[in-house]
Amino acid sequence: MRALVYGGAFNPPTAAHIALAEFACQKTDSDCVIFVPTKMTYIRDDQGKDFAFGNEERLAMLKKVAEDKAWMIISDYELKAEEQPRTYTTLCHLRDLGYECRLLFGSDKLTELEHGWKYMDEIFNEFGVVCMQRSNDDCERIIDSDPFLKQYRDRIELLDTPDKYQNYSSSRIRRLLRSENPDGDELRRLLPEELHGLIPEKR
């Protein structure tokens, strides 16, 4: 089964996470997208996020969204690990389960790959990547000007993503949830429909 592996905080998952993953699945002729939420301790301590929903909360949110989506698979592999696994380890685990994997991420990650990620040579060589390109990111220029990325150009598939999802973010949702008078309409716009009314305010 051809799978795109989509790791991240999903803190919480946004409507853009879901829509863009489905878009990428269709455009790459993949069979599924495997969402792999990271551990709460990694989000809070390593990434320094202002707030992290618990492991089980984020897992439950993703599973709720996935209930009627055959293309969407949720993995708790990283949540159950004793320590936060490296992305390469997760890809190897999913490959061992029988998936033909490629890594899926947004174009904001491109410039981080050489120095911010471990085992990127192995990820490129053994799996390949799909990069969701935002309209304001010139990924071809970024790749051509970066010797590390340029050597793996044939292992990077670029996808132009719909402009309507450019300004969706989990951090925006968290700010709304902590505000004195959250904008309910804005929350409903940013959240997947399946989560409307399920995330308590005043986090």
For the stretch 32-76, pLDDT in tens is 999 999 988 766 655 556 667 889 999 999 999 999 999 999 999
* Tens digit of each residue's pLDDT (9 = 90 or more) over 147-184: 999 999 999 999 999 888 878 888 888 888 888 777 78
pLDDT of 171 reads 86
**Quick check: helix, strand or coil at residue 94?**
helix
Where do the structural domains in the chain lie, given as residue ranges? 2-195
pLDDT > 70 in the chain, percent = 92
**pLDDT on residue 203:** 45
Q: What is the per-residue DSSP string for 56-88? A: HHHHHHHHHHHTT-TTEEE--HHHHSSSPPPHH
Helical ranges in 97-169 per DSSP H? 113-116, 120-126, 139-144, 147-150
Judging by beta carbons within 10 Å of its beta carbon (0-12, 13-18, 19+), is residue 129 exposed, middle or buried? buried
**pLDDT number for residue 162:** 87
Least confident of 9-13, 47-51, 68-72, 137-141: 47-51
pLDDT at 26: 97
Q: Which fold has domain 2-195?
A: Rossmann fold (3.40.50)
List b or e across 52-88, with b for residues whose CB sees 16 or more CB atoms inside 10 angstroms: bbebebbbebbeebbeebeebbbbebbbeeeebbebb
Distance CA 94, CA 105 (A): 17
Q: Kindly report the pTM of this predicted structure.
A: 0.92
Question: CA nearest 6: which of 113, 79, 17, 117?
Answer: 17
pLDDT at 40: 80
- Number of H helices and E strands in the chain, helices first, is 11, 6
Is 117 within 8 Å of 156 (Cβ atoms)?
Answer: no
CB 90 within 8 Å of CB 3: no
Mean pLDDT of 106-129: 95
Extended strands (E) in the chain: 2-8, 32-37, 72-74, 100-106, 129-133, 156-160
CB 5 within 8 A of CB 91: yes
185 vs 203: which has the higher pLDDT:
185
**Average pLDDT in the 80-97 region?**
95
At 202 the pLDDT is 46
Q: How many degrees, rounded to 5, is the angle at CA 14 between CA 12 and CA 15? A: 155
